[in-house]
Structure 1
């Protein structure tokens, strides 16, 4: 009898402990899921629900999102979990009132050599854009800089690593949470990027598009050297340029997802590049019909190279170069032609119309090209 009583007591204690653990886990679940990779069967449903705009979120709790945004805006981290889950909620709820904006998100080291060109591009359009800059930790733009006051709290990033993806997700989260900016599109740019169209052209092109612009293609066999199961089959693996333009729905999907994210972070190593494959694979798997499978960022991979595209310097800057990029209606020398299983030429389709204008931006342009670019007239650049 004593043994039986002891067994019952131990079983009751174990049950109580399990119930307590379940309660604690339910309260801390967002932090666990984003901080150490715990998964749940809700992960994939969560992304699908964001796509269909049916998640059970209290959209009236705007004050919570404002508090989190203001805390992070002041360069004070709570946790990445708080930031990203609040951003997920913001993506599902109605954006702030006002004329929709395009969020230009700059992932840079520090100074932007083409700052004056961007300032020229944005001039007079303040009600239709927002700017967010993720620079090297500790870097601050000086007084008088066009980008001063536009930085978000940053962390160190390295090429070919998952922390590039983290930086993009952080930029998107801030842009989604910004209570002063009804951002509907989210464009990722780097310090070697320039605009090759007028602001009005870019704004109309993006805000009227039915699809997000994410280059996503089947990579060559060399990239099939890691195990993607059970999260997704190898035939679903994709690759493409990191520099993309996302609508609000897809921006929310990117910050909310965890299953694919942790798979890439833990196992995408040899012959795998997280920033060129994670989002490209995720969006094809979750909403393949919602992306254009091409970029609006021109880049030249046709020249001899090791791991970087052609870098334009001052000697290459001519009106003819810009006009050539502007007139392109097929992609003949982008990343697809460098690493795709099928590198055939692709027509640029825009809202179901083939042979449409492909590019709004271009890279890479060196710091030495800055003055030559600024010397180009508005009749060439469009601004």
Structure 2
């Protein structure tokens, strides 16, 4: 005979009734996601991206360009230009080195900077960076906010100058490895188009599949959350830093279908597998135009002793001509043009070898 016992979880309909299983079980707690992108930020971005898409479709600089482009200088279409998109949350410590890189090529490039609003930039920007900051929103690791920031930069560049043909995303820790003409030639050296086809510039973006841990990255937002838009066999990974051809920049800014998946926050329990900015761009371009991408990045990164998802950070005592030559080498047809990650105090030793090594082929 079952004994009775006093408990607030026992049903009162019968003194001998067993405890109700649902009342004894612990309350179910659904997995907690990381913070999502605020709705006002998303609404602002959609309006910006719509203007940029319309401007690109019209083949113009976008009329007044809205608030984002209001302070950016305008030029008539000319030779193809490279838009350098700096994504930063700290000082642009290597601006003097980039000035050396840009010197004499002012008609072939534009600079755009997205600086996290919480960052305090203590160093006055050098001429190429002055008044080149776009309205920015907060960014953080393990968050699609880094995708949004890159898309804002692309949109601002599309609105600002119709001559922007290539869009190079770099960080404050990136430095150039070769002179500007070397980069320009590499970007323009597309293979001849097939008979009857228009010649298109290609994008330099790393696109990888079958990488270790890819499944954990795919389910970082939850099981089956990416379906049906992004089945696992179409999910890709690659470097956050790329050089996109103009048509691909427009494709990214226009996208809504994949973005509605990648904008979802990761689960807190999967934070260590959450790198949306390394997945969205390679997945989107591999699904939309795989033949138009080199599948290769122009930015060299040293992952041999990474810590907490951060690559090796070069220090002043490591800077030498031999290091620059080593960082340029690749297994691809193209040499690396940029490298990261360098500590801010590397500026002086880098400037010391700028003319004799970095900007000499």
Report deviation, 1:36: 11
Aligned match of 1:260: 258
The 1:112/1:160 distance shift into structure 2, 3 A limit, reads same
The 1:59/1:268 distance shift into structure 2, 3 A limit, reads same
Report deviation, 1:266: 1.7
Extract unaligned runs of 5+ from structure 2: 1-38, 191-200
Q: Secondary structure at the match of 1:298?
A: strand
C-alpha distance in structure 2 between counterparts of 1:365 and 1:292, whole Å? 26
Report deviation, 1:96: 4.8
Following TM superposition, the consecutive aligned residue runs of length 4 or more in structure 1 with deviations greater than 6 angstroms are none
More deviation, 311-320/261-270: 261-270
C-alpha distance in structure 1 between counterparts of 2:71 and 2:228, whole Å? 38
C-alpha distance in structure 2 between counterparts of 1:75 and 1:160, whole Å? 31
C-alpha distance in structure 2 between counterparts of 1:142 and 1:302, whole Å? 31
Is 1:174 aligned to residue 156 of structure 2? yes
Aligned match of 1:223: 217
State TM-score, norm by structure 1.
0.69
Which of 321, 326, 339 in structure 2 is aligned with 1:362?
339
Q: How does 1:134-283 map to 2 (within 5 A)?
A: 134-137=114-117, 145-146=126-127, 147-179=129-161, 182-209=163-190, 210-218=201-209, 219-220=211-212, 221-225=215-219, 226-227=223-224, 228-266=226-264, 268-269=266-267, 270=270, 271-283=273-285
Give the root-mean-square deviation of aligned CA atoms: 3.0
Aligned match of 1:68: 65
C-alpha contact 2:144 2:263 (8 A) present in aligned 1: yes
Q: How does 1:228-377 map to 2 (within 5 A)?
A: 228-266=226-264, 268-269=266-267, 270=270, 271-326=273-328, 328-330=329-331, 348=332, 356-377=333-354
Extract unaligned runs of 5+ from structure 1: 1-30, 39-45, 77-94, 331-347, 349-355
Report deviation, 1:72: 2.1
C-alpha distance in structure 1 between counterparts of 2:71 and 2:265, whole Å? 31
C-alpha distance in structure 2 between counterparts of 1:154 and 1:75, whole Å? 14
C-alpha contact 2:144 2:277 (8 A) present in aligned 1: yes
Q: Secondary structure at the match of 2:110?
A: strand
Q: Secondary structure at the match of 2:182?
A: helix
C-alpha distance in structure 2 between counterparts of 1:73 and 1:267, whole Å? 29
C-alpha distance in structure 2 between counterparts of 1:287 and 1:74, whole Å? 32
C-alpha contact 2:85 2:113 (8 A) present in aligned 1: yes
The 1:363/1:37 distance shift into structure 2, 3 A limit, reads closer
Report deviation, 1:156: 0.9
C-alpha distance in structure 2 between counterparts of 1:101 and 1:169, whole Å? 18
Report deviation, 1:74: 4.0
The 1:141/1:124 distance shift into structure 2, 3 A limit, reads farther
Q: Secondary structure at the match of 1:102?
A: strand
Q: How does 1:93-112 map to 2 (within 5 A)?
A: 96-112=76-92
C-alpha contact 1:132 1:150 (8 A) present in aligned 2: yes
